[in-house]
Structure 1
Amino acid sequence: MKIRAFTVISATVVSLSLAASSVEAFPIPGSYAPLFEASAVVPQQGNPAGKLVEKFNISNLIGKSRVLLLTYPKNCTFICPTELIALKKRIGDFHDLGYEVLVLSTDEASLSKDKDASHQAWRMKSDKPAAGNKNTPIGIGDADFIMVSDADHKIIRSYGVEGEDGLALRATFFIDKQGKVQISEVQMNSIGRDVDELYRKAAALKFVEENEGMLAPQGWQPGDAGMEHSHESVRKQVKKQN
């Protein structure tokens, strides 16, 4: 019995080790964002489904714009549409900050591969609460962000955000123009992200990049002056908070 138990435990350890080896480390601030090429849906005027790009490459954005990359579990579910619909409404604000916004899940990109829950299919469903049957998925409508498909899970593994169920965790990466991750966050899938807070962080990153030596302290909001590297500035900031 002891031998059999040891065999089972050893096999389990080997299995877990192999699973772990297929997932890369979570990119921390200061590290380069893993590059990838994948099928994606990009916005196209007059085409709610968006344009299918078979070989979208994130490296084409590096050096041209900042990148906000959001991973999420699955199309046509529950928290995900609340995030993406809110993001769609503020997408112009992110563009004004110089960000290209990418959202990524393991769903197929093409309508021809999945007519119900692919990126194109989801875009073609109305985002109006009154549209459709109350027991059917709400859509996200025509959105001005890029939707990346990671059907083979390679990207979420390279970013270290594949969950135990094989789906993407709810993770957020702010990537600068040099391709370095400046903010990386991951949370449990039952808690949604706040788009206003995402915007605040996007603006704060732009602020500290463009104002050398300045800091964005607790509570910093777009338009604030920021804080200097000095104890005097800390005291002023704490006084303002009281």
Structure 2
Amino acid sequence: MTTVEICVSDVPTALVAEAAGADRLELCADLGQGGTTPSLGAVEVALRCLRSAGLRVMVRPRGGDFRVSEVEEQVMLADIAAVRALPNPHGLALGVVVGAVTGDGGLDRAVLRRLIEAAGPLPVTVHKAFDEVHDQLTALEEIIDLGADAVLTSGAAPTALDGAARIAALRERAGDRLRVIAAGGIRSHNVRQVLDRTGARELHLRAPVHRDGREATDGDEVRRVVDATRAV
């Protein structure tokens, strides 16, 4: 079965996505900057209110590039420790999402190693900072060696469809060692094409809709995506 992960910006939109059938949620703040760390209160309430969907928490102290300074790393480590300490009354599958690259187009392995170690038993997804590295196949092996659980990618292309061949190659290289999550421009009208061309078994997307002057999650679109992935 295909896992559908919906990126959400707050607890109300998380609840909408869960009710529409999302398997997992990525909780972020400031989606206009590509997603940053949500408030600790938002994570705590999400863990209390959600009932079935897994939850991944973005750990990214600011928008902009994905280079991580020493002080920013300390913030990320503190955020990971805080997430780990939160009560999880319903036993949701909880994890964190991180990323770090160097100025010369490689993974910042030292920072990632410390972040992954800090996560302890929590699964770690490396986010689309991965799409900025020059050699993704080598970086994939590095991520596996570091002990991450998954990587999010559009195959270094604008959309998952554009990068479908690369995503398929990454999945083949990873095998059962790492989950490769396809992302980028996925919607209900093209989700079957993405699945067919990439072989992906996990998808990540937003389902935005504007209501009352702000962006929310379109539960109908989430439901259409989920239904399309279940279709024979």
Q: TM bucket by the smaller chain?
A: under 0.3
Q: Which has the higher contact order (CA 8 A, sep 6+)?
A: 1
Larger radius of gyration: 1
TM-score by length of 1: 0.26
TM-score by length of 2: 0.27
